[in-house]
């Protein structure tokens, strides 16, 4: 996680066989704190979630290399935001880099548009990849998509749900719970990205109450532009 941020991020199309590791938060709460959202920098001792809880991550994001840049919230309705109306989620949308083959979102308060893939406002740009943290015992954007329980943590996103990404509407077509290893190398997730214009994959971790350490599974939501 120590690679420097590229001087000018380039758009690259991953092949079907590309392996991308997906790191998300396994966390413990250590009180409350404040995160300077404009600077997108970690708070001392951890990051801050949507409820103001300070959270310590097992794998600390390399913020400089991820190079997070908030999308402008101007122009069309919903610009610069990720909104899941049925789940009651409305958070800023931020672009980030993959760092050393790893997607590790640098905050617990934003949804992240992964560079090197499609963008909602660019028709023909291919598969759009969105990533966000979920935390155990806290409140990050990914927590909106499951009900944390000790066994299966039921998924709360359904076929037909609407997701708004930078003002563009997507309709959920399905979801999968898979191990992080399977998700990182899945052709269903990463295959033929250039040929999947109008498609979105949303990736977070699936936390389970009472577990310790990093979550072992990812929740992957599939959607198509409405």
Whole-number Å distance between alpha carbons of 154 and 46: 28
> At 75, which CATH number?
2.40.260.10
Q: Give the global pTM.
A: 0.80
Whole-number Å distance between alpha carbons of 101 and 66: 11
pLDDT at 61 over 70: yes
71-104 residue pLDDT tens: 999 877 889 999 999 999 999 999 999 998 889 9
Binned at pLDDT 50, 70 and 90, residue 35 comes out as very low
In a domain, 43, yes or no: yes
In a domain, 2, yes or no: no
Question: In sequence order, what are the residues at sequence separation of 6 or more whose Cβ sits closer than 8 angstroms to the Cβ of residue 120?
Answer: 113, 128, 165, 166, 167, 168, 200, 225
pLDDT for 18 equals 46
Sequence length of the chain is: 226
In a domain, 7, yes or no: no
pLDDT for 74 equals 81
In a domain, 15, yes or no: no
pLDDT for 153 equals 81
In a domain, 3, yes or no: no
Residue 83 phi, psi (nearest 5): -125, 130
Binned at pLDDT 50, 70 and 90, residue 13 comes out as very low
169-209 residue pLDDT tens: 999 999 999 998 899 889 999 999 999 999 999 999 988 87
Binned at pLDDT 50, 70 and 90, residue 23 comes out as low
Residue 201 phi, psi (nearest 5): -120, 135
168-180 residue pLDDT tens: 999 999 999 999 8
Torsion of CA 40, 41, 46, 51, to 10 degrees: -30
In a domain, 195, yes or no: yes
CA distances from 126 to 24, 137, 217 (A): 24, 35, 26
In a domain, 107, yes or no: yes
In a domain, 155, yes or no: yes
156, with CB counted inside 10 A (0-12, 13-18, 19+), is middle
Query: In the chain, how many domains are there?
Result: 1
Question: Terminal CA-to-CA distance of the chain, rounded, Å?
Answer: 37
Binned at pLDDT 50, 70 and 90, residue 4 comes out as very low
Residue 205 phi, psi (nearest 5): -95, 155
106-140 residue pLDDT tens: 999 999 999 999 999 998 999 999 999 998 888 99
Which H/E stretch holds residue 202?
A: strand 199-205
Tell me which residue has tokens 């310590």. 56
What is the average pLDDT value for the chain, to the nearest integer?
A: 81
pLDDT for 44 equals 52
How many alpha carbons lie under 13 Å from residue 104 in its C-beta half-sphere? 22
Under 8 Å between Cβ of 150 and 210: yes
pLDDT for 115 equals 95
Tokens of 105: 């979102």
Range of the domain at 215: 21-225
């Amino acid at each position: 996680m120590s690679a420097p941020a590229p001087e000018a991020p380039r758009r690259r199309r991953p092949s079907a066989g590309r392996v991308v590791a997906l790191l998300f938060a396994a966390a413990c709460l250590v009180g409350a704190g404040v995160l300077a959202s404009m600077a997108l920098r970690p708070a001392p001792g951890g990051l801050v979630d949507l409820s103001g809880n300070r959270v310590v991550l097992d794998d600390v994001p390399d913020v400089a290399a991820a190079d997070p840049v908030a999308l402008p919230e101007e122009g069309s309705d919903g610009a610069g935001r990720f909104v899941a109306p049925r789940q009651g989620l409305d958070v800023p949308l931020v672009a980030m880099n993959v760092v050393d083959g790893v997607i590790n979102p640098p905050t617990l308060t934003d949804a992240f548009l992964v560079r090197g893939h499609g963008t909602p406002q660019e028709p023909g740009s291919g598969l759009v990849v969105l990533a966000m943290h979920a935390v155990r015992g806290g409140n990050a954007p990914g927590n909106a998509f499951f009900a944390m329980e000790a066994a299966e943590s039921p998924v709360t996103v359904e076929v037909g749900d609407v997701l708004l990404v930078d003002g563009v509407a997507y309709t959920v077509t399905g979801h999968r719970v898979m191990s992080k290893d399977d998700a990182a190398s899945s052709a269903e997730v990463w295959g033929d990205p250039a040929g999947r214009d109008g498609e979105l994959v949303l990736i977070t971790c699936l936390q389970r109450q009472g577990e310790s350490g990093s979550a072992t599974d990812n929740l992957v939501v599939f959607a198509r532009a409405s």
